[in-house]
Amino acid sequence: MEQTLVIIKPDGVQRGLVGDIIGRLERRGLKIVALELRQMDRSLAERHYGEHQGKPFYAGLVDYIVSGPVVTMVLEGPRAVEATRATIGATRPVESAPGTIRGDLGLEVGRNLIHGSDSTESAAREVALFFGGERVHSGWRRDVDRWVLEIVS
């Protein structure tokens, strides 16, 4: 089963949208296998956003992500990376479809509420960066799964 890393960014936490955002992902059928409120430090932010180093928005992005607590989680499900990115919406909230998290709740790219891994390779790297192997509880049995998934392992 695929895993993905989600971060509810400081604006999502400050605006009291944690429940709404997690609820949307949870209702879609994705299973929470790790969840934590934490304050990211600069070194973690720089490692997480390493691919953007050198871009004009990089310094502002790091300042933004360390500006307050974030909620990090690992979600599991079939094609979880793609399902989560689709639920999140496009990077620029004004270009995100209504019904998506960014399209319903955001306006500006520098306050776009949430991060989701963009590939299974990024997901593996990010899950390890934020939770390590031992803090992900991927084994728990969710009794409703036979009504969400066609084949339950």
Q: Which residues are catalytic?
A: 115
112 binds ligand IDP (CB under 6 A): yes
| Nearest distance in Å: CB 78, ligand IDP | 21
Q: Does residue 91 sit in helix, strand or coil?
A: coil
Residues β-bridged to residue 5? 74
| 118 vs 145, beta carbon nearer Mg ion | 118
| 66 vs 81, beta carbon nearer Mg ion | 81
From residue 18, give the alpha-carbon distance in Å to each of 8, 15, 53.
7, 8, 28
- Piece of the chain touching ligand IDP by CB under 6 A; list 34-42, 71-79, 108-116, 133-141: 108-116
Window 42-81: contact mask with ligand IDP (x via CB under 6 A): ----------x----x---x--------------------
Helices marked H in 66-107? 80-88, 101-105
Provide the binding-site residues for Mg ion, judged by CB under 5 A: 118
**What is the DSSP code (8-state) at residue 4?**
E
